[in-house]
Structures are given as C-alpha cells and as structure tokens.
Structure 1
Amino acid sequence: MATDICLQLGKRIKSLRRARGWRQIDLAAHAELSKTHICDLELGRREIGLRALERIAAALDTQPSELLKAIKH
C-alpha cells in the first residue's frame, strides 16, 4: 500500500533529520522545500517526487538510494 511506503520513507527522513539536530524548517531550508512539504512527507501524507527526494538526500548529505533503503516490501 502506498501509504505504508510513504510512512516508511517519512520515518527515515525524520530520523536522519533529527540525527543532525535539525527541525523541519531547517531541513526545508537546506532542501529548498517548504516546511509543510517536509511535514507531509514525514507523516506519510504525501508521495515524494524524484526532485524532492534528490534535494532532501543532498541536504542530509546522503544518496537517494540510502533514503529508499528504509522501504520494506
């Protein structure tokens, strides 16, 4: 189910963000996305686009594939 996938990815993003000591607004600024976008992604309310995935990964100093590893089939 898509929601499960979105929740898993959102938890991974949130975990990496918190490990840096960042608030959602900090990640949003580094990724050039809105805080609402980050919030919705972390809560699994929004499916991530490829460009947003790339921006978030770069902001967290990782690769998009590392973010996607959190998804269990």
Structure 2
Amino acid sequence: MAATSTFFKHWFRAEIIPIYVVTGVAVCGSAWYLTRLARGPEVVWDRKNNPQPWNNIEQGTQVKLFAINQPYDKK
C-alpha cells in the first residue's frame, strides 16, 4: 500500500503538470499531422477505384501545409 501512495504523490505533483500538458499537445499535434498526411493526394489507399488520385487535383488547389511562394492570378 505504501508503494501505491508514493506513486500517486509523485504522479499528481503540481510541478509535473506542465510536462503532461506539453506531452499531450505533442501527441495530439503529431496525430493530427499524421492523419493529415494520410489523407493527402499522394497517398493511395484504394488502388481499385482510383489508382492515381493526384490526377484529380484541380489547378490552384492548396495541398501543402504551408506554402511560401504561392502562385497568383494576374487579372
């Protein structure tokens, strides 16, 4: 019983809360980014229905997360 109580004393200390927050944000951010990459036009999950999904991307569609030199239309 003593080992359990010391474990919870160290587990729920106020000094450790920022570590939990940073770790949680990092895990959520990495999961979001991996999900975003898995749904991109370069990834083929279904080869029978659409073997080349990158051919269906319209002109001017933003597929990158962050684009520095974006093309613009001169009108």
- TM-score higher than 0.5 here? no
Superposition TM-score, scaled by structure 2 size: 0.30
Structure with more contact order per residue of length (Cα contacts < 8 Å, sep ≥ 6): 1
